[in-house]
Amino acid sequence: MSVILNHDTEDFLDDHDFRSGYISIIGAPNVGKSTLLNTILGQKLAIVTPKPQTTRNQIRGILTTDNHQMIFIDTPGLMDPKYRLQSEMVRTAYGALRDADVVLFVIDVVARQNEKTEEKILERLCRAKNTRKVLILNKVDLIDKRKLLPIIENYSEKLDFDNIIPISAKTGDGVPELLNQIKSFLPPGPLYFPNDQLSDLPERFFISETVREKIMLITQQEVPYASAVVIEEFERRQRRKAEDIIFIRAIVYTEKQTQKQIIIGKGGKLIKRVGELARHEIEKFLDSPVYLELYVTVKENWRRDARKLKELGGFLDL
């Protein structure tokens, strides 16, 4: 774990009683982990769709104040894996527990959780002896508040949480209280990242995720889960009579020819729509005009093959 220090950072640390730490956000698929991260940061960092298993990687977001730095780690939803990609996602999620100072276990108070998955999560949390554990009751804006007490009692019997906090990640209700609680749990520590840095992941990662998000939103059934996006080219190009433009070439991989045809769409209409939606969001993210070129190709059974997963940029190991 590297520490980035410069003269400004040293002054920053000398003048403040500074606290910092890593906060892992874990839970079953589709409970609102990525929405919570985006709400905390006040900016979209993790892609969000109504479909479960949207997040495949650890997404690290950094929130810095005058006397705190919180490094949040959004993780893939925990499930019973059915193929290699899902196994790697589960490994990635549990890996975020190892060095965490605080763990936020997020549940959806509206939808029933998978009991088998929850048992495994709670078992892992029990092993994390030196980690603060907070149960997050998400989506409280969609439930009668009187129904929360039985939920709280049920989870309190399963694990001795350091706190239980009801929130709505979508509206932000309860999030300030959550942040105050996290601050109180952080140990004294250094400024790990410059105070204006939002994440330690490269721009290419967020661009590929934005394209994948649009595919997930537009397509149905197995197609979104069989798709992966790799950025092949990313460069700023000068234009004589206009602002410089960023040229991006992205490859969309599917597992079958039929999936490729669905993503391209009749006359190329669907992939064109994906490109339009992604380009607008990428331009906001990069604060620059963008030319986005998308290609779709087949890499059979890439989700089940460790070698092929690595060929697709090793994105699971970011």
List the one residue out of 150, 285, 272, 268 whose CA is nearest residue 214: 272
2: pLDDT strictly greater than 70:
no
Residue 14's pLDDT is 46
Asked whether residue 83 carries a pLDDT value surpassing 80, the answer given is no
* pLDDT range class, residue 16, cuts 50, 70, 90: low
> What pLDDT band is residue 4 in, cutting at 50, 70 and 90?
very low
pLDDT score for 278: 97
Higher pLDDT, 175 or 317: 175
Average pLDDT, rounded, for the chain: 88
Question: Quick one: average pLDDT of 43-61?
Answer: 86
Q: Is the pLDDT of residue 314 over 60?
A: no
Ramachandran sector of residue 164 (left: φ over 0; alpha: ψ -120 to 50; beta: rest) = beta
User: Is residue 96 very low, low, confident or very high in pLDDT (cuts 50, 70, 90)?
Assistant: confident
Res 156: pLDDT: 94
> Do residues 49 and 32 lie in contact, with contact meaning Cβ atoms separated by under 8 Å?
no
Rounded CA separation 232/19 (Å): 39
1 pLDDT higher than 50: no
Contacts of 190 (CB under 8 A, 6+ apart): 3, 5, 13, 18, 20
pLDDT for residue 25 = 94
Residue 6: per-residue pLDDT: 36
Structural domains in the chain?
7-185 (3.40.50.300), 203-317 (3.30.300.20)
Q: pLDDT band at residue 313, thresholds of 50, 70 and 90?
A: low
Instruction: Identify which of 74, 26, 76 has the alpha carbon closest to the alpha carbon of residue 51.
Output: 76
pLDDT at 5 over 70: no
Answer yes or no: is pLDDT of 169 > 60: yes
Q: What's the whole-model pTM score?
A: 0.87
Residue 107 pLDDT exceeds 90: yes
pLDDT category, 42, cuts 50, 70, 90?
very high
